[in-house]
């Protein structure tokens, strides 16, 4: 066993990748084995599916756009430094309600691109402060939360049951 830290990049990428691209059959940590992950789950939904909400809550499209936006800020932070969160416009994503097929494709493509960039960033060794490392780790938990919320809204986005 090694002390915490030596392979942190590998651990972060493994967890994030599992949520985004699905769980491998051998070692699944976040999802059930065989789960296709967030991107494939969203690809299985139509624009009408993505425009639904439950009990007046946010739509799947809004959740997906919110995650895309959050990852875009993380990627901007990695590229430029500074604090891109200071002037973040979180409310804009939550205004996403009804989407047509073109807008739904745009959201999914944007999420796919931002996820790929963030996965690459997580796998790159760098010096970080405790606050920065906490933000990086929380990005994984944040994505997991929204994947769960999306799966509560539409059964078509759910992964396989365990066992």
Six-digit token string for 55? 């009990």
pLDDT tens by residue, 38-79: 999 999 999 999 999 888 899 999 999 999 999 999 999 999
pLDDT at site 111: 98
Per-residue pLDDT of the chain (163 residues; tens, 9 = 90+): 334 556 888 899 999 999 999 987 777 888 888 889 999 999 999 999 999 988 889 999 999 999 999 999 999 999 998 899 999 998 899 999 999 999 999 999 999 999 999 999 999 988 888 999 999 999 999 999 999 999 999 877 777 776 5
* 8-13 own/partner pairs: CB under 8 Å, 24+ apart: 9/122, 9/123, 9/124, 9/125, 10/123, 12/122, 12/123, 12/136, 12/137, 12/140, 13/119, 13/122, 13/123
What is the pTM for the complete model shown? Answer: 0.91
pLDDT at site 1: 36
pLDDT at site 69: 97
């Amino acid at each position: 066993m090694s002390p915490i830290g030596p392979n942190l990049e590998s651990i972060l990428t493994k967890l994030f990748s599992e949520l985004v691209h699905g769980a491998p059959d051998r070692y699944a940590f976040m999802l059930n084995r065989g789960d296709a992950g967030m991107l494939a789950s969203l690809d299985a939904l139509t624009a009408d599916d993505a425009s639904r909400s439950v009990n007046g809550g946010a739509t799947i499209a809004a959740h997906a756009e919110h995650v895309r936006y959050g990852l875009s800020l993380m990627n901007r932070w990695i590229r430029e430094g500074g604090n891109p969160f200071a002037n973040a416009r979180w409310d804009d994503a939550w205004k996403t309600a009804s989407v047509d097929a073109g807008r739904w494709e745009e959201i999914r493509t944007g999420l796919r691109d931002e996820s790929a960039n963030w996965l690459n960033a997580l796998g790159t060794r760098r010096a970080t402060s405790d606050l920065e490392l906490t933000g990086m780790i929380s990005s994984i938990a944040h994505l997991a939360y929204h994947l769960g919320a999306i799966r509560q809204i539409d059964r078509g986005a759910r992964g396989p049951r365990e066992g």
